[in-house]
Amino acid sequence: MKRLRKYLIVLIILVTPLFLYGTYTFAKYVTEKFFSYYTNSKNFYFTSNILKEDNPLYQINNWVGIGQFTINFDLLSSKNEYVHTDYDITYEASVTCPSDVICDLDKPTGTIHATTHSDTLQITVAPQRLYTEGQKITIQIRAKTTSPYVKELYAKYEYVVGKTGVTYEIEDNANSPYLLLKITNAINYCTVIQAFGEHNLRDAIDVDNYMQLSQTDKAKCVSQYANFGFDPNMLLLDTTSEVIKKATYGTSNVNGRNYVNYMRFPLDPLSSVAIKFYKNNPSENYTYPGVYSWSVIWINFQEP
């Protein structure tokens, strides 16, 4: 009997914390649901295209490890495209970065007006040193409404340095008629694809000497080829882009008309390019990485 009593005491000691934790978790869940129900009944909506209540993690695994970049996100006073808050909402926002990274948030406070239902914020990130392969920086973003009710949203970005090479991103916003495909080439040399002057086929030319070449000779030295494809039912290429002049491309037939659906073009060393695509559905937001875990534009890079 004494042994049984001893086991019962031990069991109670072990179970009590679990019971208390479960009670706390359940109470927290009920409180959050009640608050959500209450604010929804007041037509109070505070959402974002990036930030969420559960603090999602967006990981960028091909960061080059150097150079300034930006993170854009929207704060919204809408539940969906049909349901909106009909009064102004004030907010405060903040960003936390590592000690060797400067993060500048353009609007630490602001108002989501009832007439627009959205406000766009931008974070400028400036690393103060070179990060090497495998290293990473973590950026925590927080936004909190201050009136008439209080609600908080979060997001975490993790930039991981990949192998030095070419990276890309898609910059977009819901209700924007177009998106931008931005490509950055961090490779500091090109490879000769057609012999000229003193340079033989397959010679490597560093960026400083490359910059001294004529435009004719620059065309004979390529750092990387960018290949990308897309569905013309979703996106239409802006054919006024300068890239078109030195690209090869393929087409597909849509309703009796041919549209570009594939392109290949050369990249200069240490260069960047932005290509505009018009969206067939402007309400979509194809931001990558960020909103979607997949890219609406298929893309890869090849050595010449």
d(CA 210, CA 25): 62
pLDDT at 34 over 50: no
pLDDT at 281 over 80: yes
Helix (H) or strand (E) holding 75: strand 69-76
Half-sphere exposure of 30 (CA within 13 A, CB side): 6
d(CA 176, CA 284): 8
pTM listed for this prediction: 0.53
Tell me the three state secondary structure of residue 208. Answer: helix
Half-sphere exposure of 128 (CA within 13 A, CB side): 7
Confidence of residue 24 (pLDDT cuts 50, 70, 90): very low
Confidence of residue 1 (pLDDT cuts 50, 70, 90): very low
Structure tokens given for 226: 């960018």
CB contact set of 37 (below 8 Å; sequence gap of 6+): none
> According to the model, what pLDDT value does residue 242 have?
79
How far does CA 249 lie from the centroid of its chain? 27
Helix (H) or strand (E) holding 156: strand 152-161
Half-sphere exposure of 170 (CA within 13 A, CB side): 28
Confidence of residue 69 (pLDDT cuts 50, 70, 90): confident
> According to the model, what pLDDT value does residue 101 have?
96
d(CA 105, CA 107): 6
Determine what percent of the chain is predicted with pLDDT higher than 90: 59
Contact 63, 167 (CB under 8 A): yes
pLDDT at 9 over 60: no
Q: What is the pLDDT of residues 72-117, one digit of tens each?
A: 999 999 988 889 999 999 999 999 999 999 999 999 999 999 999 9
d(CA 233, CA 254): 8
Q: What is the mean pLDDT of the chain?
A: 85
Q: What is the pLDDT of residues 206-237, one digit of tens each?
A: 888 999 999 999 999 999 999 999 999 999 99
d(CA 176, CA 140): 26
pLDDT at 15 over 50: no
Tell me the three state secondary structure of residue 121. Answer: strand
Structure tokens given for 204: 């490597």
d(CA 94, CA 1): 61
